[in-house]
Amino acid sequence: MALYAKAAEILEKAERKQGALKTLVYDSKFPNIKQLFALVCETQKFSSILQELIESTKLLKQTKLKMPLAKVLVYDLVLGQGLKCGGSWKTTMMKHRSRLQAELARMKIKQKVSRNEDLLPAGLQRSTEDQLPRYVRVNTLKTSVEDAVDYLKRDGFAYQGQASRLEDLTLKAKSFLRDQHLPELLVFSPKMDFHDHFLYKAGHIILQDKASCLPAYLLNPPPGSHVIDACAAPGNKTSHLAAVMRNTGKLSAFDLDAKRLATMSTLLLRAGVTCTQLANQDFLKVDPDSPQYKDVEYILLDPSCSGSGMVCLRDNTSSDQEKDEARLASLASFQLRCLNHGLRFPRLKRLVYSTCSIHSQENEEVVTACLQQNPGFRLVPLLAQWPERGMEPLTQCLRASTTKTRTHGFFVALLEKHSETGKINLIQAAQTSDPEVACCTPPSCESKPEPSETADKHKPAADLVCSTHAESTPAKKKRKRKKKKKATAGPQ
């Protein structure tokens, strides 16, 4: 019953524009975030259909339920996979199931359609290609991919090896395979639900969309390094970073929302993550020059965004275009500030920037502005075999979509400190160095080789130059002494 009460509460707030649906879900501190998110998303998508069903059967009058709660209950009862509760609510709803199903059938006949999805407006309908696979990331902190595959095979699943093309991801029943791009990712039928599975409850697998796995995989911080997850909650990417780092080094995770951090703490505990330091702090207020961050070399930045790439939210825009554009502009400004701030850490080597947005304002335009303001960084070309690239000219970046990658909409860019910066600094240092030291600079090596250099050919070039220079002065003095002695002696 708690699931439906919380879903109704969030649905009501979302319909009143009291917050973004995704934020409201993660702020709820509900134990099973994924289940709650899926229920609210689907109910909101079918909202108009559900309201028509409820009104035509006069359900509210007969049950004394409020509309938001009636919607989530009716969705699972007649459109979903059945009610997941017991008690009085289930007893009440089961009394009205036949009338609700009959009314749904009449609606389909009237509109001459056979599927529930076909009742939706065209913009909200999903094609067969949009039915995303169920992606499962193996948590290598607790098990291996091979052991997870063996366990699933013993549990009745049919393993089909590694995928080699996008079409392989169309799976049925209990078949599964290994992803073609990410080695620790397993792919299942869209209808598979692992929330009650032992591997999930034990933290051996993480339910995470494929596109969401890209940032940590591409950043690839080595074990023992100091890494920052700048906007960390709800924590899937954080746990992935910890797995890549093999739970060694230091992983500083920041999030401004205390409730989201609390949920994240539970997730990380289940995943066996021990190398993190959680901080209820605004990343923009973290001092890059602070001694505690002097060794930070890698940053994962996945800031707040429009969420337009999420399948259930992609058409969740208001009718006020001016308001939507203003919101995108505000988000892009915030994202650029975060990106610029991340690049200020003095020893930073790489930063990965990602969003679950399809809008160029939040993706390519933010990265372009950042590169113009930070010439010491450049883009790293990513996964040549990935089927969808960033918009021109930023083809080094990756995009993801339901049609081309069978994932939620996503964007990833990897920024790397430019090596030329280090070379310029070395040249400047040589130009301003002491004249006596300047004798050891590379241009001195242009002098003709002396016989002594053959014996010293294994010495560093700088040592040879300095050695030759040091020996030249005594040789000149010796020649002068010989000439003076011969002149003093005179003719015999």
What's the pLDDT at 130? 52
User: Which DSSP letter does residue 31 get?
Assistant: S
Task: Tell whether 434 is in a known binding site.
Answer: no
Nearest to 295 by CA among 327, 250, 248: 250
In a domain, 487, yes or no: no
Query: Pick from 68, 96, 124: which residue ends a domain?
Result: 124
Are residues 229 and 255 in contact, defined by beta-carbon separation less than 8 angstroms? no
Which residues, in sequence order, are bridge partners of residue 417?
Answer: 377
Task: Tell whether 282 is in a known binding site.
Answer: yes
Nearest to 217 by CA among 248, 192, 183: 183
Interval 453-467 mean pLDDT: 34
Residues 6+ apart with CB under 8 A from 112: none
Task: Tell whether 255 is in a known binding site.
Answer: yes
- The CA–CA distances, whole Å, from 402 to 303, 395, 405 equal 22, 19, 6
Long-range contacts made by residues 46-55, C-beta under 8 angstroms, separation at least 24?
46/75, 46/79, 46/116, 46/119, 46/120, 47/15, 47/71, 49/107, 49/116, 49/119, 49/120, 50/74, 50/75, 50/79, 52/107, 53/78, 53/100, 53/103, 53/104, 53/107
The CA distance from 217 to 354, in Å, is 12
pLDDT band at 99 (very low <50, low <70, confident <90, very high): very high
- The CATH number given to whatever domain includes residue 392 is 3.40.50.150
Is 60 exceeded by the pLDDT of residue 401? yes
Question: Does the N-terminal peptide bond of residue 31 adopt cis geometry, omega within 30 degrees of 0?
Answer: no
Residues 6+ apart with CB under 8 A from 217: 182, 240, 244
Stated as kind and residue range, the H or E segment containing 379 is: strand 377-379
More confident position, 244 or 19: 244
| Together in a domain, 117 and 144 | no
What's the pLDDT at 82? 82
What's the pLDDT at 431? 42
| Together in a domain, 277 and 352 | yes
What's the pLDDT at 418? 85
How far apart are the two ends of the chain, measured CA to CA in Å? 125
Task: Read off the amino acid at residue 67.
Answer: M
What's the pLDDT at 128? 42
Residue numbers annotated as active site: 356
Task: Tell whether 105 is in a known binding site.
Answer: no
Q: Three-state secondary structure along 9-29?
A: HHHHHHHCCCCCHHHHHHHCC
Interval 228-250 mean pLDDT: 95
In a domain, 231, yes or no: yes
Task: Tell whether 235 is in a known binding site.
Answer: yes
The tokens describing 286, both together, are 């973290």
Task: Tell whether 280 is in a known binding site.
Answer: no
Residues 6+ apart with CB under 8 A from 334: 303, 304
In a domain, 188, yes or no: yes
Interval 407-420 mean pLDDT: 90
Q: Which of 307-316, 385-394, 461-470 has the lowest mean pLDDT?
A: 461-470
Query: Pick from 72, 99, 124: which residue ends a domain?
Result: 124
In a domain, 342, yes or no: yes
| Together in a domain, 398 and 464 | no
What's the pLDDT at 312? 66
Dihedral pair phi/psi, residue 438, rounded to 5° = -60, -20
| Together in a domain, 334 and 438 | no
The CA distance from 439 to 462, in Å, is 9
| Together in a domain, 261 and 389 | yes
In a domain, 491, yes or no: no
| Together in a domain, 99 and 156 | no
pLDDT band at 445 (very low <50, low <70, confident <90, very high): very low
Are residues 413 and 352 in contact, defined by beta-carbon separation less than 8 angstroms? yes
3-state secondary structure (DSSP) of residue 33: helix
Interval 349-371 mean pLDDT: 96
In a domain, 443, yes or no: yes
| Together in a domain, 305 and 274 | yes
Interval 179-186 mean pLDDT: 96
| Together in a domain, 117 and 162 | no
In a domain, 481, yes or no: no
In a domain, 34, yes or no: yes
| Together in a domain, 316 and 418 | yes
What's the pLDDT at 448? 32
Is 70 exceeded by the pLDDT of residue 386? yes
| Together in a domain, 107 and 186 | no
| Together in a domain, 89 and 188 | no
Which range marks the domain in which residue 463 is found? 434-475
Task: Tell whether 168 is in a known binding site.
Answer: no
Task: Tell whether 440 is in a known binding site.
Answer: no
Query: Pick from 94, 124, 154: which residue ends a domain?
Result: 124
pLDDT band at 157 (very low <50, low <70, confident <90, very high): very high
3-state secondary structure (DSSP) of residue 354: strand
**Segment 1-58, tens digit of pLDDT:** 788 999 999 988 877 766 667 667 877 778 787 788 889 888 988 888 999 999 999 9
- The CATH number given to whatever domain includes residue 198 is 3.30.70.1170
Task: Tell whether 258 is in a known binding site.
Answer: no
What's the pLDDT at 432? 40
What's the pLDDT at 472? 41
| Together in a domain, 264 and 305 | yes
Q: How many domains does the chain have?
A: 4
